[in-house]
Structure 1
Amino acid sequence: MGPHFWWHASGDLLSRHAVTSSFSTAWLRGDAKALSFLPDDYRHREARARAVAAAASRTVSPVLLDVLGAQNARLAPSPARERNLALLARPGTVAVVTGQQMGLFLGPLYTLYKAASAIVTARALQEETGRPCVPIFWLQTEDHDLPEIDHCVIPRPGGGPCRLALELPDAATSRAPIAHRHLGPSVLPALAALRAELCAEPHAEEHLSLLERAYRPEATLAGAFADVLSSLFAEEGLLFLDPRDARLAPLAAPVHRFALQEAAALSAALAVRVEALSAAGFAVQVHIRPGAPLSFFSPDAVDGPRYRLDPAGPDAWSLVGHPDSASIRQDALHTALEREPLRFTTSALLRPLLQDTWLPTAAYVGGPGELAYFAQLAPLYAHAGLPMPLAIPRAGFRVLDDRTRRWLGKLGLHADEVNVPRDALLTKLATRDAPELLETPEALEARLFGTFASQLEELAGPVTALDANLQDALQRTRATVRVAVSRLTGRYRSALARRDATAAERVDRLRTFLFPDDAPQERVLGLPYFACRIGTRAFTRMVLDACVPFSGDQKDLTP
């Protein structure tokens, strides 16, 4: 069965500003205010050709090519990957880049969707322009937020979501780059639990064996992640780049030097951009600290905690969040950059600039949050004298497997109807399917209180004419009855929700599969369940086939 179109507003953007509008949602629908911050050039063939031509004028340094070759040689064998590496060494080749944090067992499904989108976009740009174009996955190994990636969630057919997590005692407080974190022994019980949950699925052995080969206690989070994702896309030749490599640190040093030397000017320009976005009514994804550079610094060691830098006078920087409130002199910071550049790591806003300094990036494929911070980037790229790549929305999917379709059929629902609060859905089913005519709670409340309020209104004139002091009593009576009717309606709503235990069980199953934790499936559930049920390569192939380049549409997949 083929894909069907659907739409949702993916993910809320975090912000300190009191605004409610998601930039990515507005941008995707072509809102003029959003387009003033980030043009939708990806929709237009001529603009795509210009972006490819601009990227084709840049070459990849021999050092980066050597490191890329060595990093990718450690991954699953792939003649297509070797061909793409050879193409990247040729002048005129461009790249389509995407990236992601290294979630356990690949993290949420959208990781797979981003990689597939980059591959399909690279193919389409190559066909349109005739220029070689290769897909590259940027491993975000410089991040340090372990609680965001130390787990994987799978659905249970008979219950709620199952969360599998590493037991890393310092996960909440660790500030070391993810590149240096090993999985440790707790990955073994996580794998065992995954096998116990999924071993009965038809393709379980194939996928679980792949995970067990990669996710070993001595492996790093990044290494295991790259091993599995490279196996999924070996036929497509997806390349992987880990920026946290000592051989690449000297190539990153000029970008960090730029961030340090231009900190005041950059933060001022970016702050103006933030205010403009806020004034336009958009949530702002990345907070700008006045005068602060966009680099992190590890004062103790390259694998030690990293800290943001804040101005602390004309010649010093404070390390934000350091337990001893430490600071560093400017000359010492520049000396460290010269001698040990691997102590410096990028922030969310600086990472794209590093990426596009190293690579001939024609396009970046991102999710809603990334599109939102791309709206902040124009002043940074302008100050650096570098053209921004095309920003392209990743494909989005909702998987309706045979179980989900069966449960929907039994309840007589469409998938979109499940995206409401649980009690509201159960109430809808109870009032729809009852043999006797049952009012909805809203209708009951309106009828009861409406009748009373109407009668009270008729009485108000004569009563207050008799004694004006009775006006307060009338208002108190109205409020008391309002509360009583609402309380009765709430109990009625609960009774409706409890009316059909079988329907409630099916609703809970559906919500686990389609809207776990009240979020879209792709943002919570991981690949293992779907790969074990459908097949690793079959599911990957299905996603690739359903990706429509330069679209941004969301679809249902019905395997």
Structure 2
Amino acid sequence: MTPSFPTAWLQGDPRALAFLPDRFRHRAARAEAAAAASTRSVPPALLEVLRAQNARLAPSPARARHLEELAQPGTTVVVTGQQMGLFLGPLFTLYKAAAAIVAARKLREETGRPCVPVFWLQTEDHDLPEVDHCFVASPRGARCRVSLDLPDAALSRAPIAHQKLGPGVIKALESLRAELGAEPQAEEHLSLLEWAYRPEATLAEAFTEVLSTLFAEEGLVFLDPRDARLAPLAAPIHRLSLEHASSISAALTQRVEELTRAGFSEQVYIRPGAPLGFFSPDEVDGARYRLDPTGPETWNLVGHPRGATVTTAQLLRALEHEPLRFTTSALLRPLLQDTWLPTAAYVGGPGEVSYFAQLAPLYAHAGLPMPLVVPRARFRVLDDRARRLLHKLGLTADEAGQPREALLTKLATRDAAEPYEPAGTVEARLFGAFSAELDALGESMLKLDPRLLDALKRTRGTVRAAVSRLSARYGRALALRDEVTTERVDRLRAMLLPEGAPQERIHGMAYHACRFGTRAFTRQVLDACIPFSGDLQDLMP
């Protein structure tokens, strides 16, 4: 069975490397990418907006130096980005930012060229239900869902940039205090969140305030593309996507077919003949819709409540006079980012790695080289509470990742004063003995009367079902024999594998920041980051 594309790519599978080379692993390739990026420069208009956007953030001499470097020829950047999750969203947001900072440092050291870490704020997305909440690990191990409870969130199609937090953020902050207020460093972190997350602020503003504070010492630079001053700079990319929609989609479709033949699934569906952006027909902060061709010069607004259409001429006029009505998709965003910035490398998660596997034809069509694609840092946080549970259970962190029932059975069998056979072994032994006897007896029965065949089959099935039920009950009895062990396993799995998913994809950083300190935990993540490595590491604060 072929693994997922990101897994195969990280493992160096030649099938994956044929679509996305792992150039990030090789110093010579990194130097080559940095040299190519250094021939491009940041447009003066973008520099002016970058200075204005970053001037609103927490003071940072390092960020000011980086902005000065961006104005100099030969400077390159390492970019990462993320949606505006509530209270920074899952832990991997922090890991992505840290990985970009560490990669930029390493490129600077290896090449002698200035290299600046840039965080691209994905404010053009409209998936509000994905970002209006977060999950908080609690001292008891269970997770707590904290949400803004925004009305009609599931129906929202407006870019996140325009979404105010509203009064629901006050209740969300109160829930955080109730859950984490007793932790040693809670006041420091909760005060930071309360300062940034105000009802009148937008999701993007609050997110950026907090993340810029965490990485002020490292000088992380932030870029919000949803800015009226930047819209004219994005217009050429949207024009390319619109005017060349047919040829671009054909090339991308062929790429997907090649990926499928290699055993991989597409990450982003390619709509035949459709451009890669969105259009807001009513107002710049209104709902945005994909475009599907319905004729030579006519486009359907996919999902529009009245089934509205728009002509190419109308789109081109809007692009000239109100370019902020256009927003990028997941596939068009990298091209815009690398058109604006001298990108040497992009730090992405598994989903973004899969995007880039599809993107070579788009970059080729635009005549732009693809950047190095670098896997983000991956961590499993084993704090003192998790380590105590592992010690009491006599498990490693990897062993704790086994399926729950299998793990409980293993522990019950291992710790039993009287050895008990595993349920599967008991079932195989019981039914195996019965089946062998029935086979032997069945031969003589069928000689006596062939009509007994159906009765033999029914008997075999009935006994098989009965033995399976007995074995299942026996297995549950084994698994639940020690309630203390069961409770410990459940607490441990809630810490390390909430709902069976990797910790970094579910839990936010609030628990760890309140327990160990906002900057202390951030610093530990930075120190543990290995540049240009996608290996999972254990973090032990």
TM-score by length of 2: 0.99
Q: Residues of 2 paired with 1:328 and 1:260: CA distance?
A: 13
AA in 2 matched with 1:170: D
* SS state at 1:77 partner: coil
AA in 2 matched with 1:103: G
Q: Identify which of structures 1 and 2 has the higher relative contact order when contacts are C-alpha pairs closer than 8 Å and 6+ apart.
A: 1
User: What's the offset of the Cα at 1:20?
Assistant: 6.0
The answer to whether the Cα contact below 8 Å between 1:315 and 1:329 also exists between their aligned partners in 2 is: yes
Q: Residues of 1 paired with 2:352 and 2:538: CA distance?
A: 23
AA in 2 matched with 1:393: P
2:447 maps to 1:465: yes
The aligned counterpart of 1:314 is 296
Bigger shift: 383-392 or 422-431? Answer: 422-431
Equivalent in 398, 414, 432 of residue 416 of structure 1: 398
The aligned counterpart of 1:259 is 241
Structure 1 stretches (4+) deviating beyond 6 angstroms? none
Q: Residues of 2 paired with 1:217 and 1:492: CA distance?
A: 54
The answer to whether the Cα contact below 8 Å between 1:84 and 1:134 also exists between their aligned partners in 2 is: yes
AA in 1 matched with 2:207: F
Bigger shift: 135-144 or 500-509? Answer: 500-509
Unaligned runs of 5+ in 2: none
* SS state at 1:299 partner: coil
Equivalent in 276, 293, 303 of residue 285 of structure 2: 303
* SS state at 1:234 partner: coil
Q: Deviations over 1:284-325 (max 9, x none)?
A: 100000000001000010000000000010111000001111
Equivalent in 25, 31, 36 of residue 7 of structure 2: 25
Equivalent in 31, 42, 60 of residue 49 of structure 1: 31
The aligned counterpart of 2:231 is 249
Q: Residues of 2 paired with 1:146 and 1:463: CA distance?
A: 68
The aligned counterpart of 2:375 is 393
AA in 2 matched with 1:161: R
Equivalent in 508, 514, 527 of residue 545 of structure 1: 527
Equivalent in 208, 211, 217 of residue 190 of structure 2: 208
AA in 2 matched with 1:550: F
Q: Residues of 2 paired with 1:165 and 1:107: CA distance?
A: 11
AA in 2 matched with 1:495: A
Matches within 5 A, 1:445-524: 445-524=427-506
Question: Could you say if the C-alpha distance between residues 45 and 20 of structure 1 is closer, same or farther in structure 2, counting changes exceeding 3 Å?
Answer: closer
AA in 2 matched with 1:554: L
Matches within 5 A, 1:516-535: 516-535=498-517
AA in 2 matched with 1:533: R
Matches within 5 A, 1:93-172: 93-158=75-140, 160-172=142-154
Q: Percent identity?
A: 71
> Number of matched residues?
541
Q: Residues of 2 paired with 1:463 and 1:417: CA distance?
A: 50
User: What's the offset of the Cα at 1:40?
Assistant: 0.6
The aligned counterpart of 1:229 is 211
* SS state at 1:526 partner: coil
Bigger shift: 428-437 or 51-60? Answer: 428-437
Q: Residues of 2 paired with 1:36 and 1:355: CA distance?
A: 24
The aligned counterpart of 1:181 is 163
Question: Could you say if the C-alpha distance between residues 20 and 221 of structure 1 is closer, same or farther in structure 2, counting changes exceeding 3 Å?
Answer: farther
Q: Residues of 2 paired with 1:150 and 1:448: CA distance?
A: 53
AA in 2 matched with 1:360: P
User: What's the offset of the Cα at 1:420?
Assistant: 2.6
User: What's the offset of the Cα at 1:432?
Assistant: 1.5
Equivalent in 331, 348, 354 of residue 366 of structure 1: 348
* SS state at 1:375 partner: helix
Q: Deviations over 1:147-171 (max 9, x none)?
A: 1111111122325210101111111
Equivalent in 239, 242, 262 of residue 280 of structure 1: 262
Equivalent in 405, 420, 445 of residue 438 of structure 1: 420
AA in 2 matched with 1:511: R
Equivalent in 319, 331, 348 of residue 349 of structure 1: 331
Bigger shift: 341-350 or 462-471? Answer: 462-471
Equivalent in 32, 53, 64 of residue 82 of structure 1: 64
The answer to whether the Cα contact below 8 Å between 1:108 and 1:152 also exists between their aligned partners in 2 is: yes
The answer to whether the Cα contact below 8 Å between 2:231 and 2:324 also exists between their aligned partners in 1 is: yes
The aligned counterpart of 2:275 is 293
* SS state at 2:300 partner: strand
AA in 2 matched with 1:146: L
Q: Deviations over 1:96-136 (max 9, x none)?
A: 00000010000000000000000000000011100000000
Bigger shift: 207-216 or 449-458? Answer: 449-458
* SS state at 2:426 partner: helix
The aligned counterpart of 1:10 is none
Q: Residues of 1 paired with 2:83 and 2:133: CA distance?
A: 12
Q: Deviations over 1:496-537 (max 9, x none)?
A: 222111111111111110000110000000000001111111
The answer to whether the Cα contact below 8 Å between 2:138 and 2:180 also exists between their aligned partners in 1 is: no
Q: Residues of 2 paired with 1:313 and 1:426: CA distance?
A: 61
Q: Residues of 2 paired with 1:159 and 1:529: CA distance?
A: 11
* SS state at 1:379 partner: helix
Q: Residues of 2 paired with 1:484 and 1:224: CA distance?
A: 59
Q: Deviations over 1:407-437 (max 9, x none)?
A: 1111111111222332222222112111111
TM-score by length of 1: 0.96
Q: Residues of 2 paired with 1:438 and 1:298: CA distance?
A: 65
AA in 2 matched with 1:261: E
Q: Deviations over 1:530-552 (max 9, x none)?
A: 01111111111111111111111
* SS state at 1:218 partner: coil
The aligned counterpart of 1:217 is 199
The aligned counterpart of 2:537 is 555
* SS state at 1:252 partner: helix
Q: Deviations over 1:18-58 (max 9, x none)?
A: x9630000000000010000011111111111110110000
* SS state at 2:28 partner: helix
The answer to whether the Cα contact below 8 Å between 1:295 and 1:308 also exists between their aligned partners in 2 is: yes
Q: Residues of 2 paired with 1:312 and 1:125: CA distance?
A: 47
User: What's the offset of the Cα at 1:217?
Assistant: 0.3
Alignment RMSD (CA, Å)? 1.0
The aligned counterpart of 1:404 is 386
* SS state at 1:246 partner: coil
The answer to whether the Cα contact below 8 Å between 1:157 and 1:509 also exists between their aligned partners in 2 is: no
The answer to whether the Cα contact below 8 Å between 1:40 and 1:391 also exists between their aligned partners in 2 is: yes
Q: Residues of 2 paired with 1:170 and 1:492: CA distance?
A: 48
The aligned counterpart of 1:4 is none
Equivalent in 53, 66, 75 of residue 71 of structure 1: 53
Q: Residues of 2 paired with 1:454 and 1:135: CA distance?
A: 68
Unaligned runs of 5+ in 1: 1-18
The answer to whether the Cα contact below 8 Å between 1:20 and 1:283 also exists between their aligned partners in 2 is: no
